[in-house]
Amino acid sequence: MLIFDQFKKSDRPLWFLTVVVLAGLLVLLGGLWYIQGVSSRKYVESLRTQSFRKVRYPALRGRIMDRNGMVLADNRPSFNINLYLEELSGSFQEAFREKQKAWRAAHPRQRMAKAERDELGRLGRFSVVSNLVQQLGQQLNQPLALDPAGFLKHYTNRLALPMPILENLPQEKVLLFEEQPNRLPGLSLDFQPMRTYLHGTLAAHLLGQVRMTERVEASDGEPEIDYDYCLPDCLGLVGVEGAFDNELRGSAGVKAILVNHLGYRQSEKYWSEAEPGCNVVLTIDWRIQKIAEQALQAAKEDVRGAVVVVDCRSGDILAMASAPTFDPNQFIPRVKPDDWAKLSDEERNPTLNRATFGAYTPGSIFKIVVALAGLECGIITPTDIFASQGHYVLGKRLIKDTAGAGDFNLRRALVRSSNSYFIEYGLRMGLPRLMDMSTRFCLGQRTKVPLRQEVAGFFPTPAWVEKMKEQGTPIHIGEIANLCFGQGQVTVTPLQMAMMTAAVANGGKVLWPRLVDRIEAPGPAGSRLLKTYPAGAVRNLLGVNPANLEVVREAMLADVEDRREGTGCNAAVPGFRVTGKTGTAQVMKNNIFHHYNTWFVSFGPYENPKYAMAILVEYGASGGATCAPVARKIYEVIKQLDENPNYSLPEKPIYRPVQPARKSNRAAASPPAGQKVAMANPSASQP
């Protein structure tokens, strides 16, 4: 009552104090309303961000199949034993109390510091998990030990996720774990999809490799999210796996893990489901691929080389083999040290795709280009006769010729592979005409096959020749002479030579090689097409006289069918007319002969060409002795497939490696003085 009496007396200080108090109350009420009403969503989201951990989990990787639907790369379940640490929180506290009791007994009058409490907690947690891991090892009859550094890292940085104990368990270990009557606390058998290559080394260089990694960029269509954790995913490195990584990988999913104040997992919630990757269908035929690999392996012991088989009508790659090979499964989930020592051997280079990433001197198979260039410019006619002395004299240099002495027209020169004939007419037509015909075949240019492993090779161009002149090192006549029989300043890949041969077979169309036929949406057979790659894309037209092309084709046929003089007669297949051209290229080191790289290019059947191939074997004896038998073995299976599309290869290898061949006594053509012949060491090649 006293207060109201004071208001009646119009006490100004009291009135002022009352207004101030009421204004303060209004401000407090307004702030409370703003926090509870207007800003509530902001604080809820902030709390959710602090409580949830965003985890990226990978999608199921798409399949890779051959043209017939045979699955080459797929996914399999990988069984892992994981430890969920949140289930051991009670055991951790009990272990800490025991450690704390022991510490106080040892230090009765001391107060425990925070650092000492943290250390006792760490030791207690480690002892609990270490004992658990040892018990698991006893159950599985497999000694196990816990890595202290790995456990500390996981507990500190990834507490919300299960801790992996054993990965990729074999079936017998899975059964042994599941049969245990008393399940150890916190341990669970989980599985995740793992990349697998169903046929081991088959088409290994085409399929490529993947690497398990937690640092994967978002694929196309996948939202950019700042993840707290990323579970291991496959990243394609080379081959089809690398070139089509985005399509195969699909879109990863996101799940949110609710954690408590200690960081332990409470529950999981999926924010977005993973979308499986697409299937990639290749143009290769697994049966031709398999026989190509077997035939190449049988060429010689510890063979190093490549085989490319293409459809000369469409440019489809039907087989691409490289040796030595490897098993892509060795990279999953990670390469073992012993395997890595073999895979990284710089001498053998088993992971190198020699069909596209090896640049080699072509040798006598380049005479096909020289012959066409001479026929087109009129310097060579099929009936012209050149009298060879069994060697060619160029100034003071004597170039030996394994074709021997005698009279040669174009047909016999190609069949016998006469160096003297092609040097004579190649020098007459000159370097510009040779460069022009090579450019028509697109030599020295990448084929853009999607493998992430390809070199362009090298062939002189007018711009390069002019540059050499400006630098004071013009092209000498001796270098042009070398070029006329495929030595010197030129390197090619087996794929380029297969496409060159296909152009000769199909009437003059240089096609783009096609490795991928289509990309399909994931699902059962006959799934929705997402993208197709057209066949028969023309890269260039030779623009040569069909009659001149037929002269070369007939000479290539004679090289196989002429049993008396043909160097490629080892490729003959009864009932299937095969053409061919052999090549034996020198590899020089420090101007000293080191070894031969042997070649064989071919197409067939002669009357209606469907197939073209190029075969290369390093350290071979000769193209006819080393490579032509490989072609014959491949053509024998191709003939069976043409006659019976349902033909099945035997399960066991048809051809086995042969014993090392004796060293060849083939005479070497000497390089010009001071010249270093282009090396054919693929490990030195650069993309």
Report domain extents, the chain: 54-79+201-282, 81-166, 286-337+353-684
Place 669 in a pLDDT band, splitting at 50, 70 and 90. very low
Whole-number Å distance between alpha carbons of 471 and 157: 60
| Averaged pLDDT for residues 162-180 | 84
Give, for 339, the enclosing helix (H) or strand (E): helix 337-343
| Averaged pLDDT for residues 413-420 | 94
Any idea which of 11-20, 215-224, 424-433, 476-485 has the lowest mean pLDDT?
Answer: 215-224
Place 220 in a pLDDT band, splitting at 50, 70 and 90. low
Of 423 and 7, which is predicted with more confidence? 423
| Averaged pLDDT for residues 408-423 | 95
DSSP structure class, residue 626: I
Place 687 in a pLDDT band, splitting at 50, 70 and 90. very low
Question: How many Cα neighbours within 13 Å face the side chain of 325?
Answer: 25
| Averaged pLDDT for residues 575-593 | 91
239, 325 Cβ separation under 8 angstroms: no
CB proximity list for 193: less than 8 A, separation 6 or greater: 58, 60, 61, 75, 76, 77, 78
Question: What rounded mean pLDDT belongs to the chain?
Answer: 85
CB proximity list for 346: less than 8 A, separation 6 or greater: 683
79, 191 Cβ separation under 8 angstroms: yes
| Averaged pLDDT for residues 411-423 | 95
Three-state DSSP at 608 gives: coil
Among the ranges 218-227, 269-278, 460-469, 670-679, which has the highest mean pLDDT value?
Answer: 460-469
- Looking at the chain, the whole-number percentage of residues with pLDDT higher than 90 is 49
Place 561 in a pLDDT band, splitting at 50, 70 and 90. very high
Whole-number Å distance between alpha carbons of 477 and 479: 5
pLDDT above 90 for 191: no
- Longest C-alpha distance within the chain, in Å? 143
Give the tens place of pLDDT for each residue, 301-320.
Answer: 999 999 999 999 999 999 99
Same fold, 54-79+201-282 and 286-337+353-684: no
Q: What is the dihedral of CA 589, 591, 593, 594, to 10 degrees?
A: -10
pLDDT of residue 115: 85
CB proximity list for 10: less than 8 A, separation 6 or greater: none
Rounded to two decimals, what is the model's pTM? 0.82
Of 268 and 468, which is predicted with more confidence? 468
pLDDT above 80 for 609: yes
pLDDT of residue 271: 72
Q: Phi, psi at residue 186, to the nearest 5°?
A: 85, -15
Q: Using the Cα atoms of residue 536, residue 541, residue 547 and residue 550 in order, give the sign of their dihedral.
A: negative
Of 120 and 610, which is predicted with more confidence? 610
| Averaged pLDDT for residues 510-536 | 87
pLDDT of residue 13: 75
87, 185 Cβ separation under 8 angstroms: yes
pLDDT of residue 671: 37
Rg (CA), the chain: 36
How distant is the alpha carbon of residue 477 from its chain centre?
Answer: 41
Q: Which segments within 284-383 are labelled E, that is strand?
A: 305-311, 317-323
pLDDT of residue 660: 44
Question: Nearest 5°: CA angle at 105, between 100 and 106?
Answer: 100
Three-state DSSP at 514 gives: strand
81, 136 Cβ separation under 8 angstroms: yes
pLDDT of residue 674: 35
pLDDT above 80 for 284: yes
pLDDT above 90 for 558: yes
**CATH class of the 54-79+201-282 domain in this structure:** alpha beta
Any idea which of 134-143, 259-268, 415-424 has the lowest mean pLDDT?
Answer: 259-268
pLDDT above 60 for 659: no
pLDDT of residue 102: 86
| Averaged pLDDT for residues 667-682 | 35
pLDDT above 80 for 337: yes
Place 594 in a pLDDT band, splitting at 50, 70 and 90. confident
Domain spanning 286-337+353-684: CATH 3.20.20.150: no
Of 379 and 655, which is predicted with more confidence? 379
pLDDT above 90 for 286: yes
> Which residues pair with residue 311 across a beta bridge?
611
| Averaged pLDDT for residues 320-349 | 90
- Looking at the chain, the whole-number percentage of residues with pLDDT higher than 70 is 84
- The Cα-based distances of 457 to 384, 454, 509, 681, 684 in angstroms read 33, 9, 21, 12, 12
Does 605 sit behind a cis peptide bond, omega within 30 degrees of 0 on the bond before it? Answer: yes
Q: Using the Cα atoms of residue 3, residue 4, residue 9 and residue 11 in order, give the sign of their dihedral.
A: positive
pLDDT above 50 for 577: yes
- Residue identified by tokens 């009291």 is 14
Place 49 in a pLDDT band, splitting at 50, 70 and 90. low
pLDDT above 70 for 356: yes
pLDDT of residue 665: 36
- 94-98: long-range contacts at Cβ-Cβ below 8 A with a sequence spacing of 24 or more? 95/124, 95/125, 95/127, 95/128, 96/120, 96/121, 96/124, 96/125, 98/124
Q: Can you read off the two tokens belonging to residue 20?
A: 């101030």
pLDDT of residue 525: 55
Any idea which of 2-16, 246-260, 281-295, 405-419 has the lowest mean pLDDT?
Answer: 2-16
431, 480 Cβ separation under 8 angstroms: yes
Whole-number Å distance between alpha carbons of 164 and 683: 39
Give the tens place of pLDDT for each residue, 71-116.
Answer: 999 998 888 888 888 888 888 888 888 888 888 888 887 888 888 8
Q: Count other C-beta atoms under 10 Å from residue 661's C-beta.
A: 15
pLDDT of residue 6: 55
Q: Count other C-beta atoms under 10 Å from residue 446's C-beta.
A: 15
pLDDT of residue 20: 79
pLDDT of residue 45: 56
Q: Which segments within 58-135 are labelled E, that is strand?
A: 64-65, 71-83
Whole-number Å distance between alpha carbons of 238 and 249: 14
Place 679 in a pLDDT band, splitting at 50, 70 and 90. very low
Any idea which of 156-160, 170-174, 413-417 has the lowest mean pLDDT?
Answer: 156-160
Give the tens place of pLDDT for each residue, 174-190.
Answer: 888 888 777 788 888 88
pLDDT above 60 for 1: no
